[in-house]
Structure 1
Amino acid sequence: MIVRCVRIISPATRAVVSDHPAMRIGAEYPVLEVLTAVDRVLLRIPDPVDSPPGAFDSSGLWDASMFAVVSDRVPACWVASLDEGALSLAPREWQRPGFWEDFFDQVPVAVAEYDRCKAEILQQC
């Protein structure tokens, strides 16, 4: 799935802003995960490719209302998960309890799972 940014909503304040270092209006981004929250839908977007060399390869959750769908092709590795009322469409490996905590703590197994699944998703975009 590929989306185009049509407006920027600050992840911190949820206000519409004119710019953000990780997002550009008009740019297209692959979607790594779709996650519903209580009152909104979030898309996991990889960090910009122009991140500084040696930077931790991460991703962020962005409000889905910021984007228009360019390609609705769903990656084959995505599965649906329902947990405490939240629906996630993502690789099964990312849906295990504690995965994102392990990933951001840079636990090697979680980082390797993220890298492998991200590469598979990007290949299918």
Structure 2
Amino acid sequence: MDVPLRSDVDHVVLEIYAKSDGPTYFRIDPGQGAAPALFDSRYFDITSAEMPRCWSLRATNHGSLFIGPSAWGSAGFWEDYFDGKSQARTEYERWKAVIIEDSTGTEPFPSSL
């Protein structure tokens, strides 16, 4: 099910994927029963300078970078999530809740920068 992101609301970035040879993507949960997906970061404005406390940096052998919960970076995590495996789904919901909690009440990004 494809659910477009609404442009009139702020979206919480759950994970960042920076390809070594291409664009950077934000993982966002669009809600409405749709699965979390990667969206090209060039289509978004950053509204907060804060990062969730659970994020960590992972680098691949090919030079790509992932910034997000370390549990999501384990081998096969996203495959297990999309295959509907309960442990991956539980980990996703757990860390998504932490990220959303961290994002509430954050200071807006200064407009002078």
Indicate whether the TM-score tops 0.5: yes
SS in 1 for 2:87: helix
Give the one of 18, 22, 28 matched to 2:10.
Answer: 28
1:62 maps to 39
- Percentage identity across paired residues of the two chains: 31
Is 1:103 the counterpart of 2:85? The answer is no
Shift of 1:124: 0.4
Shift of 1:72: 1.7
Q: Normalising to structure 2: TM-score of the pair?
A: 0.82
Q: Which amino acid aligns with 1:30?
A: V
Give the one of 32, 35, 52 matched to 1:75.
Answer: 52
CA distance in 1, matches of 2:35, 2:45: 22
* Runs (4+) off by over 6 Å: none
CA distance in 2, matches of 1:33, 1:21: 19
Call closer, same or farther: CA 1:25–1:47 in 2, change over 3 Å. closer
- 2:27·2:37 contact (CA, 8 Å) conserved in 1? yes
Give the one of 61, 74, 94 matched to 1:116.
Answer: 94
Give the gaps of 5 or more residues in structure 1.
1-19
1:42 maps to 25
CA distance in 1, matches of 2:46, 2:6: 15
Is 1:93 the counterpart of 2:71? The answer is yes
Q: Which has the higher strand share?
A: 1
Root-mean-square deviation over aligned CA pairs: 1.4
- 2:3·2:30 contact (CA, 8 Å) conserved in 1? no
Q: Normalising to structure 1: TM-score of the pair?
A: 0.75
Give the gaps of 5 or more residues in structure 2.
104-113
Shift of 1:114: 0.3
